[in-house]
Amino acid sequence: MRILYQLLVVLFVMLQGAAGKHIGPVPLNSCRAQNGICFPGICRRPYYWIGTCDNGFSCCRRYVEM
The full set of domains in the chain, from first to last, is: 3-62 (3.10.360.10)
Higher pLDDT, 12 or 9: 9
Question: Counting Cβ atoms within 10 Å, is residue 44 exposed (0-12), middle (13-18) or buried (19+)?
Answer: exposed
Note the Cα 26 to chain centre separation in Å: 7
- What's the mean per-residue pLDDT of the chain? 80
Phi, psi (deg, nearest 5) at residue 65 = -100, 135
**Predicted confidence (pLDDT) at residue 23 exceeds the cutoff of 60:** no
pTM as predicted: 0.53
Q: pLDDT value at position 62?
A: 92
Q: pLDDT value at position 22?
A: 55
